[in-house]
Amino acid sequence: PSLLDNVTLAGRSRGLDFELFQPTGEVNKNFYAEIPVKLKVVGTYNDIGRFSAAVAAMPRIVTINNIDIARMPDAGATSAAKAQAVQKLVMQCTATTYRYLDGGGSAGHQSKKGGQP
């Protein structure tokens, strides 16, 4: 839970608005579990870049995948310069962190079978 708080704080402190923060359930692999979270954030290009850099610098591994970035519809901008200065982007992605499985999972059974003749 604290990791999820850290991701949220990293975004909000860099000016992003979270429209979606949805944990989707663990996916068990051989010796680890993936913990994906669907995100939808709104902010400027620089806000999104600073957020991505902050997530990459976290002590725990967090990857950002399935990235889709689109422009928000212009809200009454009258000139190209004004539209560019205030243009917001919407980024949808999946942030995934990982957890080691302590031998009680299927990974322990698979490695034992592999060592038998």
List, in sequence order, every residue forming a beta bridge with 100; answer none if it has no partner.
Answer: 32
Element (DSSP H or E) covering residue 81: helix 80-86
Q: What is the pLDDT of residue 104?
A: 55
Q: What is the pLDDT of residue 79?
A: 65
- Is pLDDT at 81 greater than 90 in this prediction? no
Identity (one letter) of the amino acid at 93?
C
More confident residue, 73 or 17: 17
Per-residue model confidence as pLDDT tens digits over 44-56: 999 999 999 999 9
More confident residue, 52 or 1: 52
Q: How far apart are CA 78 and CA 38, in angstroms?
A: 34
Delineate the domains of the chain, giving CATH numbers in brackets.
2-114 (3.30.70.60)
pTM for the model: 0.75
